[in-house]
Structure 1
Amino acid sequence: MNRLDRKLDALKRENRAGLVTYFAGGDPDYTTSLDLLCQLGRAGADIIELGMPFSDPVADGPILQAANIRALAGGQTLDQMMAMLREVRLRDDATPIVVMGYFNPVLHYGPARFFADVADAGADAVILVDLPLEHANVYRPQLEKAGLHLIAMTAPTSSDARMAAVLKPATGFVYHIAIAGTTGAGTPDEQVIAAAITRLRAHTDLPVAAGFGIRSVQQVRKVAAHADLVVVGSRLVDVLAKHGVAAALGEVASLASALPR
């Protein structure tokens, strides 16, 4: 079992939802980002979602696009991300890390090499937003060899047939996009999320995460009544950009307080 498996098992035993926190690696610079990442677990993050900066993050809204631009301007690369992961693991070897991004940089790096290197550096799973099921199957043996989960994603527009196909090979957990739009583009409706998660559970026994547009303690509490994991990204990235590391960690702690410990 990798760190993610252990955390998901612990959350199930504790009968509580977990908090997933997203930050772009290298935003606003390597040193600041590393300092933040090393403290997220202690602040209350159950799972860290670490963004791989990319020049064309088509699923992301303005806040995360700006984070990508800052990180790239600061010199963040995949090699820098590997180094960052190794440094994080020297200070926090327990909190699961899910590396999230787009497939183009991974393809350029070399998929088999990337999966092996990122796992060796300390990642537990990957989310590749623009890698469809039909192409992802080619890489599953490489991911399995590296000991990584490939996190499946579903959307409000996913049909039952598509859900069934996407979820059949899924491992780890399922990431449900709560709104039809980019990150931070709107506020998800609790009843819509509840209905979507009910549909999902008909196709999988994996834990379900809900993200996109969740920004407040009240929203976290409401979504946690239906989902196993609650993902917060744009709100945290915005606080980091405007107020710095201490404020971002404080926001993580505030959001975590909405979930029973």
Structure 2
Amino acid sequence: MQWPFLGTEALAAGVVTRYQLATRHDALFRNVYVPKGQAVTPVDKAVGAWLWSGRRATVAGLSAAALHGTKWIDATLPAELNQPSRHKTGNILLHNDTLTDDEICLARGIPTTTPARTAFDLGRRKGVTTAVVRLDALRQATRLRADDVEAIADRHRGARGIVQLRQALVLSDAGAESPQETRTRLVLTAAGMRPTHTQIEVYDHHDFVARIDMGYPRWKVGVEYDGPQHWTDPRVRDRDLERRARLAALGWRIVHVNAEMLRYRRAVIVGRTEAALADARRT
């Protein structure tokens, strides 16, 4: 049986008994169930919330982003719906925004705010860094263009958070493949050194060598965020050593960033990138 599902529908169809519903399933929302002990994803929450609404609401916000394929959404955050109702619930965030027909589409067969409208909503929420992280992830998943979001913003002039949205759009980049990459790029941007390119593919003649997170191809300087697997997994570490050697042989200087640097030593990231660029310009 597909899940999440409505308990009343499953009982009426004879798919489960009341005993099985109570002992083998957990209630995700009122009358919405998933298998007991199942790890619930943001997509599961989005589908479950829509079922809870009686299939009448439009999925919005982070739940819409999840249905559009966005990664790195915190599964502990509430599901989000847009519906013309004052009904309140503690574990679903309800919005009552007026949506035009072209701001709604079907995602996984469910009425959902379009990627552009979803970006418009997420980009206006407090915190420009978080907004850029979410816009980057949505653009990565959907290939949404900033112009599409600007068109929605022009339609809703005066909406709360519109100034931040426009700032976040300027700072966003569809090439970011993780929140850490976004934050690394923002550190460099704040220092006046925004990388000119993201996801830079490097070839040795026709032989693919590497794809660098971000950088400055003109000077052959790259910046990469290294997750913990780069240090703890021997196979990844060995592959990295070969990759670094090949990039160095082609004249690339790579600045490596880790979580500790990104959190506590941002000046080091900027300083090392400045030094790499200065060195490249001298040669």
Higher strand share: 2
TM-score w.r.t. length of structure 2: 0.28
Greater RCO (CA < 8 Å, at least 6 residues apart): 1
TM-score w.r.t. length of structure 1: 0.30
